[in-house]
Amino acid sequence: MGEFVKEAMESNSIPLPILNRILPDGSLTLINYGLNDSNIQSFSQSMLKVIPDKLTKLFLVNNSISDMNLDHMISRLRQTEGLTVLVIVKNSVGPVTATKLGKGYIQSRAFRKIKKFVLKDPTPNKLSKHNVEHICKALCKSSYNLNVLNKLTLSKLGMNRKSVILLSEAAKNLPRLHHLDLSSNGID
């Protein structure tokens, strides 16, 4: 990581010691670790340096990431290839991030390597049915390219029937998908 720290300092970004928690299997689990305005820029920029050589699995749980900051991080992830697991739970997935996921990241080359994608309980925001549809449309549209996706969790998002229909269409084209969790969506 020495090279990253040097480059971060030269570009006026603050290197994050949390990156030392990346395990040998390539996973980084951040539970209740605050990623706010002051450190999300450095964290997002670091994704460009550590994926896929060091980081392949990212678990973000209750990190106080705002919708705008999560959008920034998704933009950086879109520039990488090699992340195989992305879990976002109890972070502020709002309309900005939903649009970025739907119109950018899910359709990008970077998302094609994702085996496990979890988007759950976007607290404190509640996504509108329209925003959830962005994500589901992108999954449907990109399903032919998502050959390794085997676990998909979209829980507590407030899905509607149209989103479920889009996902059922997508599932037909996902040969390795063996786990689909749409729990706690209040689907009517």
32-57 pLDDT per residue, tens? 999 888 788 888 888 888 888 889 99
Q: Which of 106, 57, 36 is nearest to 78 (CA)?
A: 106
pLDDT higher at 101 or 125: 101
Between 3.30.1360.10, 2.30.110.10, 3.90.180.10, 3.80.10.10, what CATH number should domain 2-181 receive? Answer: 3.80.10.10
Please tell me which of 36-45, 111-120, 123-132 the model is most confident about, judged by mean pLDDT. Answer: 111-120
Mean pLDDT, the chain, rounded, equals 87
Domains in the chain: boundaries: 2-181
Strand order from edge to edge, sheet including 27-31 = 27-31, 57-61, 85-89, 116-120, 151-155, 179-181
What's residue 13's pLDDT?
57
pLDDT tens per residue across span 133-155: 889 999 999 998 999 999 999 99
pTM of the model: 0.89
HSE, CB side, 13 Å, CA atoms: give it for residue 105.
23
Beta carbons within 10 angstroms of residue 165's beta carbon: 12
4 — pLDDT class (breaks 50, 70, 90): low
12 — pLDDT class (breaks 50, 70, 90): low
